[in-house]
Copies of this chain bind each other. A is one copy, B any other.
Amino acid sequence: MAKGASLSGFPEWLPEERVVEQQAIDTLRRIFELNGFLGIETRAVEQGSSLLKKGETSKEIYLLSRLQEVGQENDTPVEDRLGLHFDLTVPLSRYVVEHSGDVAFPFKRWQIQKVWRGERPQEGRFREFIQADIDVVGNGDLPEHYEVELPLVMVSALEALRAFGLPKATVHANNRKLSEGFYRGLGLTDIEGVLREIDKLDKIGADEVTKLLVSECGASEQQAAACLDLASMSAATGAELAEKFDALCDKYGIAHESEAYELASQGLNTLAMIVDESARIRPGAVIADLKIARGLDYYTGSVYETFLDGAASLGSICSGGRYDNLATQGKRKYPGVGLSIGLSRLVSYMLHTAGAKASRQSPAAVLVAVWNEDDRMRANRIAAALRDRGIATDVAPTAAKLGKQIKYADKLGIPYVWFPGQEGDGDEVKNIVTGDQTPADPTSWEPDTVYAQQTVVVE
């Protein structure tokens, strides 16, 4: 749980911690816009009927009621009530349908917003947190190359966040068609069931999963072994992937001419493209990992999870995939590919594990001293001149003894204290970190580059 959260599950940062979060958001936005994504912000609430559509998390919704309606909440069916969105995908699908006449398709959008989960308070679970999403949505169809490009945009974004103390991120990709084709090739029919059991691999181990595949999904011992063989596959290149997969098909007798192999091949080709293209741009950033099963039941093509080196306990910090049925409008379909970063957990990691912090608490580079209250106007004028030139400046709160004013600057991490000239002397400015003091004119003085901006540093 985050430090400083007075209400379990609702993280809240101190000002110097918020700088880290704010600049992480700025960084993500910059990368998303560099890649041509359009920013949107949707309302925090959706109709209950929209929120209840999606299976998995439908139990974790906060519903709203007006104070004046307390006691009458139950007169309204949940579907007709308003609730807080629990992700940014449900709002996107509504937004796309509502504005399909106004946006250009394929619609590439980024969105960084809070989401809420109406969970029972429990250790380590956020009930309010920030998600950072990118999606591309097609009108009718959507080219496959976006399944390659979107994880790579997230790789760039996570790469940029290494300046905030994040370790190297690796995207693990799989493909629903590949898994399904392989399972069908084995003769299995309960595809969802097999995926559900495979998803438990890391938790309960291969032996238990084998038992469950047999008892729950009607698999023979050999079919179960084949499923585990597939799940153990990973590959860093498309060629390696194809070679290993074909060897597996040969081993288990899946014919290359079969429909099942054809389906698997579609998925395999996309997955091969993803690892090959990413290998060219950022070697090792994306690997094929065929045990990724979570989410495969609602995704229809690629699926991605992302792990940080040495931070396995965080689980996947950026997940997503392709879904061909993101939204529909009559017969019109809007397929999408997207990924979502759970930003608040990452910020918590940056702050409490990686040692990221603001270079200073205040955005101000300068504190103008005040010799006496009658003189405040002059300090204000100096501050105004500095601000006009883009230099963030504060003015001492009181005409206290100089030592106390410097202490205030020091507490806020403001590096420079400006002394208005007295009795005809010119102004001087002191760097209270280095101790250097020099004459200065507010219309021309510049702070040293290293002290100019409030930044994020990693200790």
Which of A62-70, A316-324, A439-447 has 4 or more CB atoms under 8 Å from chain B?
A62-70
Taking the closest CB of chain B, its distance from the CB of A448, in whole angstroms, is: 19
Q: Could you say which residues of chain B place their CB within 8 Å of the CB of A47?
A: 7
Q: Could you say which residues of chain B place their CB within 8 Å of the CB of A70?
A: 63, 73-74, 78
> Contact between A109 and B66 (Cβ–Cβ < 8 Å)?
no
> Contact between A10 and B43 (Cβ–Cβ < 8 Å)?
yes
A433 on the interface (CB 8 Å rule)? no
How far is it, in angstroms, between the C-alpha of A247 and the C-alpha of B361 when the chains are bound?
49
> Contact between A394 and B108 (Cβ–Cβ < 8 Å)?
yes
A284 on the interface (CB 8 Å rule)? no
Which of A18-26, A183-191, A209-217, A225-233 has 4 or more CB atoms under 8 Å from chain B?
A18-26
- Complex copy number for this chain: 2
Taking the closest CB of chain B, its distance from the CB of A336, in whole angstroms, is: 13
> Contact between A15 and B103 (Cβ–Cβ < 8 Å)?
yes
How far is it, in angstroms, between the C-alpha of A363 and the C-alpha of B33 when the chains are bound?
6
Partner of A61, one of B59, B66, B98: B66
Docked complex: A52-104 residues within 8 A CB-CB of B: 58-68, 70-71, 73-74, 78, 82-84, 94-95, 98-99, 102-104
Q: 0/1 per residue, A102-137, Cβ < 8 Å to B?
A: 111010110000101011100000001000000000
> Contact between B15 and A38 (Cβ–Cβ < 8 Å)?
yes
> Contact between A63 and B60 (Cβ–Cβ < 8 Å)?
no
Q: Could you say which residues of chain B place their CB within 8 Å of the CB of A387?
A: 34-35
A13 on the interface (CB 8 Å rule)? yes
> Contact between A40 and B63 (Cβ–Cβ < 8 Å)?
no
Docked complex: A353-408 residues within 8 A CB-CB of B: 361-364, 367, 373, 376-377, 380, 384, 387, 390-395, 397-398, 408
A251 on the interface (CB 8 Å rule)? no
> Contact between B7 and A43 (Cβ–Cβ < 8 Å)?
yes
How far is it, in angstroms, between the C-alpha of A83 and the C-alpha of B18 when the chains are bound?
23
A242 on the interface (CB 8 Å rule)? no
How far is it, in angstroms, between the C-alpha of A94 and the C-alpha of B4 when the chains are bound?
12
Q: What 9 pairs between A and B have smallest CB-CB spacing?
A: A36-B394, A33-B363, A36-B364, A66-B118, A10-B43, A15-B38, A61-B67, A104-B411, A62-B64
What are 10 A-B pairs with beta-carbon distances under 8 A? A7-B82, A10-B43, A14-B102, A14-B103, A36-B394, A37-B363, A44-B44, A44-B114, A65-B118, A281-B380
Instruction: List A residues at the B interface (Cβ < 8 Å).
Output: 4, 6-7, 10-15, 18-19, 21-22, 33-45, 47, 58-68, 70-71, 73-74, 78, 82-84, 94-95, 98-99, 102-104, 106, 108-109, 114, 116, 118-120, 128, 143, 145, 149, 277, 280-281, 361-364, 367, 373, 376-377, 380, 384, 387, 390-395, 397-398, 408, 411-412, 414, 454
